[in-house]
Structure 1
C-alpha cells in the first residue's frame, strides 16, 4: 500500500502475555483510510478490531500487551516510533475516537458541557467563556437539542443516544482528520442506532474527514461505508468495496457471516449459524486459523496459512480457494 494514505496500518502485530505464553492478538493487520472515506472494520468479538484502534490511539495497556512489529503511519510518519509528546499532538487533533460505552467515557459527577470544553481549554488554551461557547457549538453540531440548557446537565440526565452524541462532540473538539468510532451504537435501540450512524455520516461529509467504523453490524456497514475490512483471529481476511464484498464474498468466513444475517427476502425459519469460536493463537501456528470452522477446509489449509491475495480489482481475501468462493463454484457453509 502506498504511503500517501491519510492513516495506514501496516503489518501490525500485538502479543498479550499470559501464563500459557504470549497470545498473538494481532497477526499482521493492514488497512488504510483516506480523506472523505468510510472504512468499516467487521468481525466477531476477539478478532482484534478494538485492539487495533487502541494501538493507533496509543492507549493500549502495556503490559500485558506488547507491540511485536508493524507500523501505524499518519501522514507518512510512523506513530509507533514517536515520543509520547508527539503522539499526544496527533491524538485528538489528527485522530479522534468515539468509544462504545458512553457511560464510561463521561465522568458521572461532572456536567457534560465542561467535559466537552475541557480539551479546548487544555489543548487550545481557550478561556472558560470561549470554551463554553465552542462546546455549545460542538453539541449543536452533534445534533443535541437546546445545547445551551443541556450544557449544564449531568450524564445521567441524558438518554443513551444523547450521551453518545456528547461523546461524539468531545471527539470533534479538535477537528480531527480521522475519526475512529468503536461500536458507537452498542446498547442503543434500532431507531437511535440509525440516527447515530446518519450523524456520523453527515459529520464526515461536512468536514471531509476519514471515518473508521468498528462494528458487528452488517446493516451499518452497508448503509454508510465505502470499503470494509473483515477481521478474523487477529488479521484481515477479506477487504474491498462494500458492494463487492457483500455481493460476492471471497472468504468462507465472510460468506458464513452474511448467511447468518436475517433478510426480508428469505423464508422465516432457523438462522444459519457459524459453530465454534475464533482460536487463541500462541507461538507459530501453521495452517489457516479458520479451517476448524470451515466446510471447505482441505489439506492445504492444514499446511499453510493463506496470504491476502487480490481476486478481483480491489477485492482481496486470504483463502486458498478464494477464486472459487467468489465465483460461487464452492459455496461456503449456509
Structure 2
C-alpha cells in the first residue's frame, strides 16, 4: 500500500467466538480504493467479503465477532481506534453502504420517501419540507420514475429493482466519498441487475466517489470495475486490474472461477465446476487453504501458506506458483 488512498483495509483480522475456540474469519485482508475508482471484491459465499464491509462501517456484531488485528484507514486515519461518535460521523457522510436485501433495509410500515429524508433531517438538520424536496431529488437521481408520487408509497408498492434504487438513494443522501455496494443485485432478474450496475457506474462517474462492489459475479466485475480483489478463506488471494486478471489470472482459484463462467465462444455443454468446499479454518491451521481443491498443490502448499506477492507488474497473488498460473500452466478442472 502507498499513502494517499481514500479508503484502506490493511491486514484486517477478525475472529468469531465458538464452542471449540475462536474461528478466524478474516485473516489479514488488505485492499484499497481511490477516488473515482471502482474496486470489485469477489469470492464465494463465506469468503469474508461482507464481514469486511461490516467492520468498515462499524456494524459488525460483537460478540460473537472480535477484531484482533489490522486497520481501516479513512483519509489516513484509523477508524478502528476511534470512539463510536467519531465513527458515526464518518458512517453515511463519508462512507455509505448499499445492503443486498432491500426489504430488510427499508422499514415496511413507513413510506419510502420519508425514510430517505429521515437521514437528511437528523444528520443535516433540514426542515421537513427541505428533506422532502431533497428526497424527491435523490429518487429522481437514481432513476425512480414519477418520484413525486412514489415518495408517499410503501416498500411493497415498489418492485425489487425500484426498492434497490431507493436503498441506493438512502446511501447517497449524505453525498459519501466512498460507496460500498454489498451484492446489490441479489434476487433481481438479469435485466434489472444490468440496470442497477449501470446506475451505480453512472452515479460513480458523476460524483467521482470511490465504489467498492462486493460480488460473486464475474459479469458484474467485467462491466464496471477497474480493479479486483479476489477473496478466499478470509483473505485476499489475488488483486490486479480487471483486464489483466481476465487475460491471465495469477491464482488457481481465480482461474477456476473464470472457467466456470458461461461464455458465448465456448461449445454448449457442462460448465467447469470447482470441486470441493471452502475449508473450515482454525487458529492452528497451516498451509494454503486452497490446496485441497487446487490442481497445482504440492508439498510446500501443506507446509506454509503463501504470502500475497507480486509475480508480475501489478499482479499480486497468494500462490507459491503464481508465475506458472499467469503463464497458463494450470490443468483445467474436470
Bin for the TM-score computed over the shorter chain = over 0.9
User: 1:148 & 1:285 partners in 2: Cα distance?
Assistant: 56
Aligned to 1:149: 149
Q: Quick check: 1:8–1:72 contact (8 Å CA) kept in 2? A: yes
- Flag structure 1 segments of 5+ consecutive residues without an equivalent: none
What corresponds to 2:45 in structure 1? 45
In structure 2, what is the equivalent of residue 171 of structure 1?
171
> Does residue 293 of the first structure (1) align with residue 254 of the second (2)?
no
Which residue of structure 2 aligns with residue 8 of structure 1?
Answer: 8
Q: State the 1:3 CA deviation.
A: 2.7
Provide the C-alpha distance between the structure 2 equivalents of 1:179 and 1:274, rounded to a whole number of angstroms.
Answer: 31
Secondary structure of residue in 1 paired with 2:126 = coil
Q: SS at the partner of 2:197? A: helix
Contact kept? 2:22, 2:282, Cα under 8 Å = yes
Q: How many residues align?
A: 334
Deviation for aligned residue 1:331 = 3.9
What does residue 55 of structure 1 align with? 55
- Give the C-alpha shift of residue 332 in structure 1: 5.0
1: CA distance, partners of 2:206 / 2:164: 19
Matches of 1:72 and 1:3 in 2, distance apart?
A: 13
Alpha-carbon distance, 1:280 to partner: 1.5
Q: How big is each residue's C-alpha offset from its partner over 1:20-75, in whole Å with a ceiling of 9 and x where there is no partner?
A: 11110000000000000000000000000000000000000000000010000000
Deviations 1:170-203 (A, max 9, x none): 0000000000000000000000000000000000
Matched residue, 1:180? 180
Q: In 1, are the aligned partners of 2:37 and 2:209 still within 8 Å (CA)?
A: yes
CA shift, 1:122, in A, is 0.3
Q: Which residue of 1 aligns with 2:224?
A: 224
* Aligned-CA RMSD value: 0.7
Aligned match of 2:250:
250
* Distance in 2, Cα, partners of 1:26 & 1:333: 27
Asked if structure 1 preserves the Cα contact closer than 8 Å seen for 2:295 and 2:331, the reply is: no
Out of 312-321 and 195-204, give the one that drifted further: 312-321
1:329 Cα offset (Å) = 2.7
- Whether 1:307 aligns to 2:269 is no
Gaps of at least 5 residues in structure 2 are: none
Answer whether contact 2:40 2:229 (CA < 8 A) is retained: yes
Report the Cα offset of residue 277 of structure 1. Answer: 1.1
CA distance in 2 between counterparts of 1:70 and 1:283 reads 16
Map 1:1-334 onto structure 2 (within 5 A).
1-333=1-333
* TM-aligned CA distance change 1:330 to 1:274, over 3 Å: closer
SS of the residue aligned with 1:214? strand
Query: Which shows bigger deviation, 275-284 or 11-20?
Result: 275-284
**Normalising to structure 2: TM-score of the pair?**
0.99
Partner Cα separation in structure 2 for residue 84 and residue 332 of structure 1: 48
Distance in 2, Cα, partners of 1:323 & 1:199: 37
* CA separation of 1:274 and 1:330: change in aligned 2, threshold 3 A: closer
Q: Distance in 1 between matches of 2:117 and 2:234?
A: 36
